Chains A and B, each alone.
Chain A
Amino acid sequence: MSKKIVDATIPTIPLNARFQRWFGRNLIRVYMVLAFTYLFIPVAYTFAFSFNDSGKSNLIWKGFTLDNWKNPCGAPEVCTALANSIKIGLLATIFSTILGTMIAFAIGRHKFKGRSTSNLLIFLPMATPEIVLGASLLSLFLVFKINPGFWPTVIAHVMFCISFVVVTVKARIASLDPRLEQAAMDLYANEFQTFRRVTLPLVAPGIAGAALLAFSLSFDDFIITNFNSGTVTTFPKFVYTAAARGIPAQANVIGSGMFFLALAIVIAGQFVNRRKAR
């Protein structure tokens, strides 16, 4: 009986396994190609139509031109909107990174009463839909007779970015080897010196990552901004308003430009990390 099974299985297993392995490997490759195609279709479309000789409405392909790239501010208001987005993004990044990093150090490095409540307070804004955050903040501004505009938008962005900064920096702090700080203390560094020379440089990549995340969240936000910005136009708001009557190709230029810039920053960051690791 047992002999029969051995006879029957020995010749088939390697073949079967080889086929399965081949199939498995290529299935996954095919799947990845399909998935990445899906991910990149709108990006490729946006990039391609940034070269469209379109005039006002960028709906139909009318011919190749470099004019949009040579003159990205050619369409009315597009660069005002971009400048607003960058200003708001930078301010929101600075404030949320400082406040969030401080909270991350408090939660990640200290044991104190109310720690789990603090964690909950950080989690709640992330679990609240954007429209509720935006609408509630607008109601508060209206109660205090503050008109929506530039600064209310900055405040709104700082508010929803803080939690993401805390989570990112906290993860970095949690991954630190405590022995490094103990070693610094053993070498007679005082608390402040240890923090400045050992802890902070080690946490710095986490803080930088958090700042980048905050900027991209702020730059790309539409819903909360729409509630609190009044007449100030940001880039996403510009696209939303323009969508009804056709978006100028210059918006595609800016979108594609942001894509390549962000990609360059990420790749440069990985490169720096790898060199440091060596």
Chain B
Amino acid sequence: MGKIRTPYLLLLPGFLFLFTFFILPIVNLAQTSTQTPIAGGDTGQYEQTLRFQNYIDAFIENREQFGRSFLYALIATVLALMISYPLAYAIAFKSGKYKNFLLVLVVAPFFTSFLLRTVAWKQILGEEGFVVPTLRSIGIISESTTLTSTAFAVVMGMTYNFLPFMTLPLYASIDRIDPRTLEASGDLYANAFTTFRKVTLPLSLPGVVAGTLLTFIPAAGDYVNAAILGSPNTKMIGNVIESRYFKIVDYPTAAALSFTLMAAILILVTIYIRKAGTEELV
């Protein structure tokens, strides 16, 4: 008897907590998203009128920021994958006894605060930093070109900041590959490229899927990189939600935007997982 109850008793406190502070807020957010301002009420007072038009209004008004969020997140994810894959591969297969040490090195930069690192990039890429004068003196960029307050800086910041979310899952799945499968492929006259395409890549696919998701999801909802490294022209949907909440006190629009973002991400993720054909994520 006790045996049957044990798992439920173990789950109860944690799930009660998640229900109250994760599920309930999301339900409440859905409710807020269809409210309208009370006629003659103060700012920040809303009543439920089930106005689903809120979603359409919010989306049309901010479609540019939506598009930008997904575009930036996509570019940052692809860049992170391109940087991380060779790195994870090298650590898993080519580092010998330094494997653990190199893994620590991959994670170590992320022990300094996320915001300090972003601000550091702002100063490195800024007018007083060493990158801009160097590039100007070589003639790669013109005198009037700046690197901060650009889409380039925002995407670069996101790529950098979410890199360990890509590298670690990639490493975990590449490290699990039996090196003998690669040898076997070579023995069967596959060249290095064919071995990679037919053996290494398919075997590391769970890591690719997990890494791209763990990078794309926080990147799409991020607003810190855009706020610190960007300009008004690089605003993402996160910046809009934040200012709707704090500056404009327009809770229904903020809620509708949050919900649209979450739904869009969940739909994209589901399609992606289906296409990639792997379900073992967590």
Chain B positions within 8 Å of A143 at CB level: 28
Of A32, A39, A126, A155, which one neighbours B90 at CB under 8 angstroms? A32
- With an 8 A cutoff between CB atoms, is B107 at the interface? yes
- With an 8 A cutoff between CB atoms, is A173 at the interface? no
Of B29, B163, B218, which one neighbours A135 at CB under 8 angstroms? B29
The answer to whether A125 and B119 touch across the interface, beta carbons within 8 angstroms, is: no
Task: Tell me which residues from 1 to 16 in chain B have a Cβ below 8 Å from any Cβ of chain A.
Answer: 4, 6-8, 10-11, 13-15
Of A49, A136, A219, which one neighbours B258 at CB under 8 angstroms? A136
Chain A positions within 8 Å of B32 at CB level: 139
Task: Tell me which residues from 214 to 238 in chain B have a Cβ below 8 Å from any Cβ of chain A.
Answer: 217-218, 220-224, 227-228, 238
CB distance from A107 to the nearest CB of B (A): 8
Interface of B is mostly: helix
Give the interface segment out of A2-10, A197-205, A239-247.
A239-247
With the chains together, A167 CA to B144 CA distance in Å? 49
Of A36, A107, A131, which one neighbours B238 at CB under 8 angstroms? A131
The answer to whether B115 and A118 touch across the interface, beta carbons within 8 angstroms, is: no
The answer to whether A239 and B10 touch across the interface, beta carbons within 8 angstroms, is: no
Which of A109, A255, A261 has the most chain B CB atoms inside 10 A of its CB?
A: A255
Of A31, A45, A139, which one neighbours B87 at CB under 8 angstroms? A31
Give the interface segment out of B56-64, B121-129, B145-153.
B121-129
- With an 8 A cutoff between CB atoms, is A187 at the interface? no
The answer to whether B114 and A46 touch across the interface, beta carbons within 8 angstroms, is: no
Give the interface segment out of B176-184, B193-201, B259-267.
B259-267
Give the interface segment out of A64-72, A96-104, A175-183.
A96-104
Of A123, A130, A139, A270, which one neighbours B25 at CB under 8 angstroms? A139
- With an 8 A cutoff between CB atoms, is A128 at the interface? yes
- With an 8 A cutoff between CB atoms, is B120 at the interface? yes
- With an 8 A cutoff between CB atoms, is B276 at the interface? no
With the chains together, A105 CA to B128 CA distance in Å? 53
With the chains together, A247 CA to B112 CA distance in Å? 15
The answer to whether A42 and B224 touch across the interface, beta carbons within 8 angstroms, is: no
CB distance from A250 to the nearest CB of B (A): 12
Chain B positions within 8 Å of A235 at CB level: 113
Given A131-B238, A138-B245, A121 contacting B25 (CB threshold 8 A): no
The answer to whether A236 and B11 touch across the interface, beta carbons within 8 angstroms, is: no
With the chains together, A262 CA to B199 CA distance in Å? 37
The answer to whether B24 and A46 touch across the interface, beta carbons within 8 angstroms, is: no
Chain B positions within 8 Å of A122 at CB level: 282
Chain A, interface residues (CB within 8 Å), range: 35 or more
With the chains together, A106 CA to B3 CA distance in Å? 11
The answer to whether B221 and A131 touch across the interface, beta carbons within 8 angstroms, is: yes
- Chain A, residues 113-142, CB within 8 Å of chain B (1/0): the string is 000001101111111111111011111101
Chain A positions within 8 Å of B100 at CB level: 270
- With an 8 A cutoff between CB atoms, is B68 at the interface? no
Task: Tell me which residues from 100 to 147 in chain B have a Cβ below 8 Å from any Cβ of chain A.
Answer: 100, 102, 104-117, 119-124, 126, 128
CB distance from A61 to the nearest CB of B (A): 9
The answer to whether B109 and A140 touch across the interface, beta carbons within 8 angstroms, is: no
With the chains together, A123 CA to B259 CA distance in Å? 18
The answer to whether B223 and A266 touch across the interface, beta carbons within 8 angstroms, is: no
Given A102-B11, A159-B17, A35 contacting B83 (CB threshold 8 A): yes
With the chains together, A59 CA to B138 CA distance in Å? 24
- With an 8 A cutoff between CB atoms, is B52 at the interface? no
With the chains together, A222 CA to B21 CA distance in Å? 18
Chain A positions within 8 Å of B121 at CB level: 42
The answer to whether B14 and A46 touch across the interface, beta carbons within 8 angstroms, is: no
Taking Cβ atoms with an 8 Å cutoff, the residues of B that contact A are: 4, 6-8, 10-11, 13-15, 17-18, 21-22, 24-26, 28-29, 32, 83, 86-87, 90, 94, 100, 102, 104-117, 119-124, 126, 128, 160, 163, 192, 213, 217-218, 220-224, 227-228, 238, 241-242, 245, 251, 254-255, 258-259, 261-262, 265-266, 269, 281-282
Nearest 5 interchain pairs by C-beta: A129-B221, A262-B111, A136-B25, A110-B7, A106-B10
Taking Cβ atoms with an 8 Å cutoff, the residues of A that contact B are: 24-25, 28, 31-32, 35-36, 38-43, 45-46, 49, 59-60, 99-100, 102-103, 105-107, 109-110, 112, 118-119, 121-133, 135-140, 142-143, 155-156, 158-159, 162, 166-167, 216, 219-220, 222-223, 226-227, 235-236, 239-240, 243, 247, 251-252, 255-256, 258-259, 261-263, 266-267, 270
